[in-house]
């Protein structure tokens, strides 16, 4: 099969590239060895970043988040939850950092407001009583499945083709991609949006990238203890965000470098450290058993400091093979715009990006039965998600 573009990976990045290029009139085929959002995008922390977390150390990433979180909140209202979010400092935290945080929020144009700590503690009694400073920021929570089901559905309606459960196993220098289920696709351009597996996929093309997969662990607590996002107001480190996700709280995250991304053992020390750090914000996290744990990986470059490295993205162009590295779910639309600009030039397409103006449909609600309570809603959405995967790949 011949096509303009073969996209390897149906996570947030690959799906938004598929949508952007389809809207520009390109013929696109998306492959994924699993399904929609089954990699990092379905196993991330859940924050639609306002940019505040990056304001001090990574101004560019912060400014991108300001613009992109506003766009996603508008286009995917059904998948975004505005729970309220606070950066909170506790006794012993560094006043100098708090001042630099306030300054950085202003410089990055992030709307923020000093909150009255006693009011916050009254509303959210599980937050540590040692809190002495709280700043409200516009972070939100996003359901990646509801969001990305809509992106995939719209891409399909605009002409993108999907081959799920199909793994790219060979990529030739002329853009021929072979899969484990016998498919042979020739793309004028091949896009590697395999997230943390991007190094493996690049090596199929003979392109060795020095990546150092770094996993982040998340713990899920049920029932939830807090109804707002709580960020520890200190330099980014382990266990510094707790967020509400449906009827649970998710605590994250860590940064553990692993040798082989397909053979991951979660380090018990990291797990205990995550609970210890999280309990500085919500003391009951130490007493309560977590209900579930999960992890996902970042494709960091070898030698980077996992905590200091930018959460921005990189595009590596080895014509006809383009690799996308890094980024955030919050900036997937922007990453896709940049990649699609590059690919459009290669294909000679005149159309420009139009994803800033799209409105996404809540397709999961439409694809099956729906009942009122929160628990049943989540259960039904899971079944509807699998039905949607079957629909779009037929």
Ligand X SMILES: Cc1cc2nc3c(=O)[nH]c(=O)nc-3n(C[C@H](O)[C@H](O)[C@H](O)COP(=O)(O)OP(=O)(O)OC[C@H]3O[C@@H](n4cnc5c(N)ncnc54)[C@H](O)[C@@H]3O)c2cc1C
In this complex, which beta carbon is closest to ligand X, that of residue 254 or of residue 384? Answer: 254
- Applying CB under 6 A, which of residues 194, 282, 309, 363 lies at the interface with ligand X? 194
Nearer to ligand X, 217 or 282 (CB): 217
Q: Report the nearest approach of ligand X to the CB of residue 10 (Å).
A: 5
The Cα–Cα gap between 394 and 153 comes to 12
Q: What is the three-class DSSP state of 103?
A: helix
44 binds ligand X (CB under 6 A): yes
Report the site for ligand X in 225-264 (rule: CB under 6 A): 253
Contacting residue, 4, 5, 9, 320, with ligand X by CB under 6 A: 9
Interface size with ligand X, residues (CB under 6 A): 37
CB of 113 to ligand X, least distance (A): 22
Binding segment for ligand X among 20-28, 227-235, 325-333, 372-380 (CB under 6 A)? 325-333
**Packing angle of the helix pair 374-392, 144-157 (nearest 10 deg):** 30
| CA gap 150, 127 in Å, rounded | 35
* Binding residues among 276-315 for ligand X as defined by CB under 6 A: 296-298
> Residue 103 CB: number of other CB atoms within 10 A?
11
Sorted by sequence, the CB contacts under 8 Å of residue 265 that are 6+ apart come out as: none
Binding of ligand X by 199 (CB under 6 A): no
Residue 339: CB partners within 8 Å, gap ≥ 6?
A: 17, 20, 191, 315, 322, 324
Verify binding: residue 45, ligand X, rule CB under 6 A: yes
> Cα–Cα distance between 198 and 316 in angstroms, integer?
11
Q: Which is nearer to ligand X, 108 or 297 (CB)?
A: 297
Q: Distance between CA atoms of 18 and 29, rounded to whole angstroms? A: 8
* Shortest Å, Cβ 174 to ligand X: 18
Instruction: Examine residue 377 and tell whether it contacts ligand X (CB under 6 A).
Output: no
- Give the tokens for residue 111: 């709307």
Which are the contacts of 186, defined by CB distance < 8 A and separation ≥ 6? 1, 2, 3, 174, 175, 176, 177
Q: Which of 29, 171, 201, 242 binds ligand X (CB under 6 A)?
A: 201
Cα separation of 317 and 321, whole Å? 6
C-beta of 186 vs 380, nearer to ligand X: 186
Least distance in angstroms from the C-beta of 241 to ligand X: 7
Site residues (CB under 6 A) for ligand X?
A: 8-14, 31-34, 38-41, 44-47, 49, 167-168, 193-197, 201, 216, 253, 296-298, 327-330
């Amino acid at each position: 099969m011949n096509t303009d573009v073969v996209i390897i990976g149906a996570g947030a990045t690959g799906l938004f590239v598929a949508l952007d290029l389809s809207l520009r009139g390109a013929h696109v085929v998306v492959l994924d060895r699993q399904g929609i959002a089954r990699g990092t995008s379905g196993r991330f922390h859940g924050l639609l970043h306002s940019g505040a977390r990056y304001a001090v150390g990574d101004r560019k990433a912060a400014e991108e988040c300001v613009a992109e979180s506003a766009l996603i909140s508008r286009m995917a209202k059904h998948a975004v939850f505005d729970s309220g979010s606070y950066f909170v400092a506790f006794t012993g935290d560094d006043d100098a950092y708090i001042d630099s945080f306030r300054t950085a929020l202003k410089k990055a144009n992030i709307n923020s407001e000093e909150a009255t700590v006693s009011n916050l503690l009254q509303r959210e009694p599980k937050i540590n009583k040692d809190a002495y400073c709280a700043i409200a920021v516009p972070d939100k929570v996003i359901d990646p499945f509801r969001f990305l089901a809509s992106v995939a559905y719209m891409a399909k309606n605009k002409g993108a083709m999907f081959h799920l459960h199909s793994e790219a196993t060979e990529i030739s220098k002329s853009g021929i991609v072979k899969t484990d289920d016998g498919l042979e696709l020739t793309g004028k351009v091949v896009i590697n949006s395999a997230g943390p597996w991007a190094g493996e996929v690049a090596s199929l093309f003979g392109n060795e990238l020095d990546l150092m997969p770094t996993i982040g662990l998340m713990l899920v607590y049920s029932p939830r203890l807090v109804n707002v996002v709580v960020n520890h107001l200190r330099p980014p480190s382990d266990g510094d965000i707790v967020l509400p996700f449906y009827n649970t709280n998710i605590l994250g995250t860590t940064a553990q470098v692993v040798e082989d991304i397909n053979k991951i053992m979660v380090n018990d020390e990291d797990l205990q450290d995550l609970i210890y750090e999280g309990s500085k914000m919500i003391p009951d996290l130490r007493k309560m058993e977590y209900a579930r744990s999960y992890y996902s990986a970042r494709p960091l470059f070898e030698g980077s400091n996992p905590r200091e490295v930018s959460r921005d993205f990189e595009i590596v162009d080895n014509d006809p093979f383009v690799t996308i590295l890094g980024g955030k779910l919050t900036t997937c639309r922007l990453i896709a715009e940049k990649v699609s600009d590059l690919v459009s030039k290669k294909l000679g397409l005149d159309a420009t990006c139009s994803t800033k103006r799209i409105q996404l449909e809540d397709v999961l609600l439409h694809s099956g039965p729906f009942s009122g309570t929160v628990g049943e809603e989540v259960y039904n959405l899971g079944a509807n998600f699998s039905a949607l995967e079957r629909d779009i790949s037929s």
